């Protein structure tokens, strides 16, 4: 695990945790601990960047109607299943997808959950633009879209103004994996990736770096002339 600290002003420090490939359950426990530490002021705002082995997650209070395979059938295909507390519906994660979990104290970011979600979308749209992809936010449909297809999913939880869970950006994801769910109630064919859009390979390291930099900008966590260092 690589930790990068980013200074923006004397009163604001954040860290980016680049975890590489890590099982979802391990990262979920890591999030819980970071939320606890953030509430106590032990750690600064933190952005986890990670890839997961194949896993399906289901948001809070959602029926299982958007699971096209039940948990036992998923397990038989080597896909884990978790019911979790974030907003949103069924989501699929797999290698080639950059998953981001911001553990941010919203009292430092306007105490506005919707504004925070729009900021995440804006950061992802700015990242896509660096790669020549025009992404957009669609009113009433969380996430980021490219020509009518969904390239990034979004869903957070908030505990005493501290956020967790977050976003999933399809970089080089094998889109066939989405056939096990209706992603957030949509047809599986609605999903796309950066590689599929560009019809060429995309560097996960470059995307990871861009996402960290765009988050720093969108949430005023770095001066315009600041440097993030390697992530």
Condensed to tens digits (0 to 9), the pLDDT of residues 21-36 reads: 999 999 999 999 999 9
pLDDT in tens, 91-113: 999 999 999 999 999 999 999 99
Does pLDDT of 8 surpass 50?
no
Q: Active site residue: 137, 152, 184, 211, which one?
A: 184
117 belongs to the catalytic site = no
Q: Helices 204-218 and 113-130 sit at what angle, rounded to 10 degrees?
A: 140
Phi first, then psi, for residue 148 (nearest 5°) are 80, 0
92's tokens: 């699929």
180's tokens: 């096990």
Please give the residue that has the higher pLDDT: either 87 or 217: 217
Single out the residue of 174, 171, 231, 230 nearest to residue 204, CA to CA: 171
- Residues 6 or more apart whose CB falls under 8 angstroms from that of 70 comprise 64
Task: Give pTM, 2 decimals.
Answer: 0.89
Single out the residue of 217, 194, 197, 230 nearest to residue 98, CA to CA: 194
Does pLDDT of 120 surpass 60?
yes
**Domains in the chain, start-ordered, CATH in brackets?**
2-218 (3.30.930.10)
């Amino acid at each position: 695990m690589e930790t990068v600290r980013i200074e923006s002003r004397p009163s604001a420090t954040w860290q980016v945790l680049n975890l590489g490939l890590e099982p979802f359950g391990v990262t979920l426990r890591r999030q819980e601990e970071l939320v606890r530490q953030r509430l106590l002021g032990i750690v600064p705002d933190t952005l986890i960047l990670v890839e997961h082995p194949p896993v399906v997650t289901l948001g809070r209070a959602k029926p299982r109607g958007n699971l096209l395979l039940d948990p036992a059938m998923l397990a038989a295909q080597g896909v884990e299943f978790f019911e979790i507390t974030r907003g949103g519906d069924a989501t699929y994660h797999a290698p080639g997808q950059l998953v981001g979990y911001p553990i941010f104290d919203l009292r430092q970011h306007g105490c506005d959950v919707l504004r925070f979600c729009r900021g995440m979308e804006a950061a992802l749209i700015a990242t896509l633009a660096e790669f020549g992809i025009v992404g957009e936010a669609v009113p009433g449909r969380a996430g980021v879209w490219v020509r009518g297809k969904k390239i990034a999913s979004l869903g957070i939880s908030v505990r005493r103004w501290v956020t967790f869970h977050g976003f999933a950006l399809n970089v080089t994801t094998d889109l066939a994996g989405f056939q096990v769910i209706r992603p957030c109630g949509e047809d599986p064919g609605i999903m796309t990736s950066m590689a599929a859009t560009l019809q060429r390979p995309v560097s996960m390291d470059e995307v990871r770096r861009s996402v960290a930099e765009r988050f720093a900008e969108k949430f005023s966590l770095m001066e315009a002339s600041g440097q993030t260092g390697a992530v």
